[in-house]
Copies of this chain bind each other. A is one copy, B any other.
């Protein structure tokens, strides 16, 4: 375990060649954007660089990978991971490279597990994209084609500068990325101002069928398989659906319950300051953070709702 600075990470990248870049499983805009930005930056230095295939990127993020995925049989001499906090978060395609050994991990998660030979970590950054941008700036001029995926990394990981993780540095990074001539409007439109028809139907049905308790402070949305069918929704339409209820004025605690194909239900809990979400979900065998946690339970949607309500009451009574 060794932590290195931005300048040292740049030095490493300048000193090697034939890179393979790894992204984390269930990829978000940050890991995909970092990989694409870094890959383009390395290529601009005249290096060979590719992203490990099998990222599992959803259609909204897949375009950023175009032309950057490694061809079959590619033999890298340096392996770099971006936005991966732990060995358990590697993709299936990334597993052999984890076994071979990761040369450099670039990350912003405080939970970083130091699986790599060298780690460039700054947990003060809202997005790993901020860190990759600083590294690229050390390596040479950042162009608009590198800036686009890095902007996506930063903007999506901060809910377009709305999450509490956003800092003055985040805004300065966005400004510097725009200085490259990057037009951020189409990126904002795609990621923050576009909903599929199916997603709109999901939201409509959730509003129609949700349950409210405690004078509206507690909201529960049961999302049955039949609701998904009725909406014509697939998994790609459900991104960040657990945050949907939390935007309702007056709602402090929200639960989204997804009925699973294989039986049972997956619950996502979001809480305000007064209730520890992780403690509630721990009672049902799950876990997470103080404000956002989850668990999987057996039984029907009705049974899952009764179980989480009971768990919430237990934690509230103990608080």
Contacts and interface: CB of A to CB of B under 8 A. Distances in A.
A197 B248 contact: yes
A168 interface: yes
A179 B172 CA distance: 11
Contact of A168 (B161, B176, B248): B176
A172 B193 CA distance: 23
Interface in A34-76: none
A124 to B, nearest CB: 14
A157 to B, nearest CB: 14
Interface stretch (A128-136, A202-210, A297-305): A202-210
Contacts of A233: none
Contacts of A179: 168
Interface residues of A, number: 40
B197 A216 contact: yes
A245 to B, nearest CB: 10
A226 interface: no
Contact of A247 (B195, B204, B246, B249): B195
Contacts of A160: 160-162
A217 interface: no
Interface stretch (A102-110, A184-192, A275-283): A184-192
A290 B311 CA distance: 54
Interface of A: 159-164, 166-172, 174-176, 178-179, 184-185, 188-189, 192-197, 200-201, 203-204, 207-208, 216, 246-250
12 contacts: A161-B174, A161-B188, A171-B172, A171-B174, A193-B246, A193-B247, A196-B249, A197-B248, A200-B207, A200-B248, A204-B204, A204-B208
